[in-house]
A and B are shown apart, each in its own frame.
Chain A
Amino acid sequence: MTAILKASSLVSVVGVAELMRVSENIVARSQQPVEWYCLAGLLYLAMNLLIAGTGRRLERGLGRGFARVAL
């Protein structure tokens, strides 16, 4: 799921005004790539952390009763 979310950034190449395309447009106008690409990255990160966190909670819940050990 996180892979599909991130692959959506590639849609910007064909001109769809999604998060990445909008960021590129703002950078083209403002000449501040660090700030705007960081913001875009953080937005993607926030969405993905939500997905990954849900996955981990499920893993913990379903793995209850299995022994875990360190090397």
Chain B
Amino acid sequence: MSFDLSLFHDYWPQLLHGFELTVLLWLAGSALGLAIGFVLGLVLASLPPGRPSIARRVITAYVELFRGTPLLVQLFLAYAGGPHVGIVLGALTVGITGLGLYGGAYFTEIFRGGISSIPAGQIEAARSLGYSRVQLVRAIVLPQMLLLSLPQIANMLIVVLKDTAVLSILTIPELTFEVTGMTLETFAFIEPFVALAVGYWLLVELTAITGRAAERALRGRLGLLA
């Protein structure tokens, strides 16, 4: 089996365009997911433990529903099922909100877990020193929560990136969609899919490196040793 690079001569503008769209979907979906997760995670952590409440029930139901079903099912349901109940959404809208809601469920748990990893003694100490709730969250909770969650945030960003490939089934012309089209037109499979893997791998490595650098920088700012 030879590796024919000349195949890419005609296809690289298309692949580049797909790559750009993949990055756009990834950033938009991640931003939405991070925003949802940050708010819901903070709300969850503010509720008294062990006491049932409506807010906790609603957030838990959201997390379990979106974390408990495959993204593929959610997308099919919204895109193919939506019009049957009178909701017609464009592929891009379904794709970005789908990714955002799906990622948001995971980010909620990541942020909640980050906060609950802060020793309770610190929060009690801050309170007995007269910290207001806002001061407590800004000075004690958020910096540590961010540091504790960073590895998982980077991990989830990578998951969201790879899940953008699932959006190709909605006929969104992102990288996987363009590569699949290329294989159908050229009957070459090895070259396009290797290019696809390299494209995702570059972005994943970039994310992993940035995540580690952010962790180091945050540690430095908080005055912690690496």
Contacts and interface: CB of A to CB of B under 8 A. Distances in A.
- Verify that A and B bind, or say they do not: yes
Interface centre among B48, B73, B166 (most CB of A within 10 A): B73
A32 B83 CA distance: 11
B133 interface: yes
Contact of A34 (B67, B70, B72, B81): B81
B208 interface: no
B120 A68 contact: yes
A22 interface: no
Given A68-B49, A70-B45, A70-B49, A52 B73 contact: no
B146 interface: no
A15 B76 CA distance: 17
A34 B81 CA distance: 5
A24 B141 CA distance: 46
B77 A34 contact: yes
A34 B76 CA distance: 9
Interface centre among B45, B65, B72, B136 (most CB of A within 10 A): B72
Interface of A: 2-3, 6-7, 9-10, 12, 20, 24, 27, 32-34, 37-38, 40-41, 44-45, 48-49, 52, 67-71
7 contacts: A37-B73, A41-B69, A41-B77, A49-B64, A68-B120, A70-B46, A71-B136
